[in-house]
Amino acid sequence: MAREIQFSLVYRDMWQSSGKYQPRVDQLVRVAPAIIDMGCFDRVETNGGAFEQVNLLYGENPNKSVRQWTAPFKKAGIQTHMLERALNALRMNPVPADVRELMFKVKKAQGVDIARSFCGLNDHRNLRLSVEYAKKWGMISQAALSITFSPVHTVAYYMDIVDKVVEYGADEICLKDMAGVGRPSMLAELVRDIKKKYPHIKVQYHGHCGPGFSPASMLEVARAGADVLDVAVEPLSWGKVHPDVITIREMLRADGFLVKDINMDAYMEVRRLTQEFIDDFLGYWINPQNKIMTSLLVGCGLPGGMMGSMMADLKPFLGAINAAERAAGRPEISLDALTVKLFEEVQYIWPKLGYPPLVTPFSQYVKNTALMNLLSTLKGQPRWSSIDKDTWGMILGRCGKLPGPLAPEIVELAGQKGFEFYEGNPQDMYPDELPKFRTMMKEEGWDCGPDDEELFELAMHERQYRDYRSGIAKERFNTELEDLRAKAGAPIVVKRPVVEMPEFPIEEYTRKYPHAVPLQAPAMGQLLWQVDVDDASSAPVSGTPVKAGEAAGYVQTKYGMEEIIPAVSGRIVAVTGKQGKSVVKGEIVAFVQ
């Protein structure tokens, strides 16, 4: 009898891999009936990383969104699943254990069935509490392996992790091929080994299309025994996102697998509504490059979802690099040549940094270090002249154990800076905090909500939650949307005064200050030279002193507040970003000399 393969629609990740925002809850509840009517999905990914922060950035309550979004699927008998980052839970930085546990209690109460938990370093110690807490609160625990391709990421390496998470009680295993660089034959061997050793364990495969391996990988893991495949739908399928359910279904059907039929009328309705959401406002934050696959991703191993932001990083960097080239009497380089140089630099430094899987947030750390190395070497300075504090945290073991050994030069550099390596359990570094947040809720006069869900939001995303409660978040989002609509020539829905400032010519500054070091936004978000100040004139003036390693400003992101850290001490000689401006990761916001 033919073996059945089930499909999961990764509706959350479709948007997460395409742009900045997710659909609003009113849009999600409109598309849910059509997704159900398609008839081919046993699972839908509804929430998790970024989803809740996005709701808060809208100025809306994420708890209401999760409850309303999961309800129709639960009623239809379709399982819902979320994504969480183990030690980091739903944010980009470590979370105390008591807050992590509350998350599973809250999400189960809100109707989420499956917790997909991954550690970006594949450190089983970070996954242990996720598995135990999910089981304690009645969720299905799906432990995810962060898949990449390197000499250390072998089948034996991954099976060691599988052994540990199964010992902790995991019900399922997910192969999270976030960059789509897992080789089909290796993935099939891994699935066969899991199924042979743990036949009761369900295996789900998640692979992005970026470098083009995905359909082959899906066919191979299905033949090897995988149970569930993650798929997408148009207009957000393929490109840097996930394969479309229609193609994958037909491929598996032709290979003899049992797969559910697709109601094409319902598919077209999901497609129509998704496009409507894009046209409404979400498309303003979707980079057109996300629709394109590229084999250049095979070598560097970077996630396809990073390509759009990476190209935005490179454009302002190009001016600074070409200024250095001119100062050295060398010819300028093109953006394409710089892209190749960046890929080559990532390939060069990745082994030296211990082969961290290139998944959030470690993909950003490696890429940012590669960018700074490029700038340093082209200016005649040594590599590793600028490594940010978060990357040092990864290097020193504060996020978990790196898969491979560090290069001797990195170990030596850490010693020169007086840094100490941490070999303990990363969770031990972050004491419980829920009592503190309960006190805050009481002081503010806020109710903790059903199942303590409002308490959870404050504890997980304090800054964004406060902005949501105050109304600042909704006002900020509406202003950002109006600015983008105005630039696109679209009608402005809500009228309000907008402070306009001229665009700053980056090339002019790089020529004027050839020895200055760019100060860059660490992430996509809103530039805040001063927190809680709305005046666009609040940017620092020329001559303002800054210190290497100390925050000179901030970027409000969907994950939290990120510090803008100068690589060198000196004085600001030019400011290219106004207070409140929307910036992308790597965008130059000032120059320091």
Asked whether 455 and 449 are in contact (CB, 8 A), the reply is yes
108 backbone φψ class: left, alpha, beta (φ>0; ψ -120 to 50):
alpha
Non-local CB neighbours of 76 within 8 Å, separated by 6+ positions: 36
| Sequence-ordered strand ranges (E) for 78-124 | 79-84, 114-118
Q: How far apart are CA 236 and CA 243, in angstroms?
A: 9
The pTM score is: 0.82
Distances (CA, A) of 318 to 149, 246, 266, 343, 584: 29, 41, 46, 15, 15
User: What's the pLDDT score for residue 500?
Assistant: 33
Q: How far apart are CA 444 and CA 195, in angstroms?
A: 52
The DSSP 8-state label assigned to residue 206 in this structure reads: E
User: What's the pLDDT score for residue 355?
Assistant: 95
Asked whether 277 and 548 are in contact (CB, 8 A), the reply is no
Q: How far apart are CA 574 and CA 186, in angstroms?
A: 51
Please list the rounded mean pLDDT of every run of 10 residues in the chain (593 residues).
Answer: 94 90 95 98 95 92 96 98 96 93 98 97 97 98 96 97 98 96 97 98 96 96 98 95 97 98 97 96 86 83 64 69 79 84 89 91 86 81 86 93 96 94 95 97 96 97 93 91 83 38 53 76 81 61 81 73 81 84 80 86
Q: Residue 30 corresponds to which tokens in the numbers above?
A: 């409109």
User: What's the pLDDT score for residue 55?
Assistant: 93
Q: How far apart are CA 546 and CA 555, in angstroms?
A: 17
User: What's the pLDDT score for residue 372?
Assistant: 85
Non-local CB neighbours of 244 within 8 Å, separated by 6+ positions: 231, 232, 233, 234, 237, 238
Q: How far apart are CA 27 and CA 54, in angstroms?
A: 14
Asked whether 318 and 586 are in contact (CB, 8 A), the reply is no
**Which tens digit of pLDDT belongs to each residue from 497-545?**
333 333 445 656 666 676 778 888 887 778 888 755 555 566 787 788 8
Domains of the chain, start order? 6-290 (3.20.20.70), 294-428 (no CATH), 506-592 (2.40.50.100)
Strand partners for 555: 527, 562
User: What's the pLDDT score for residue 495?
Assistant: 38
Give the CA-trace dihedral at 537, 539, 541, 543, to 10 degrees: 180
**Which tens digit of pLDDT belongs to each residue from 113-136?**
999 999 999 999 999 999 999 999
Asked whether 89 and 53 are in contact (CB, 8 A), the reply is no
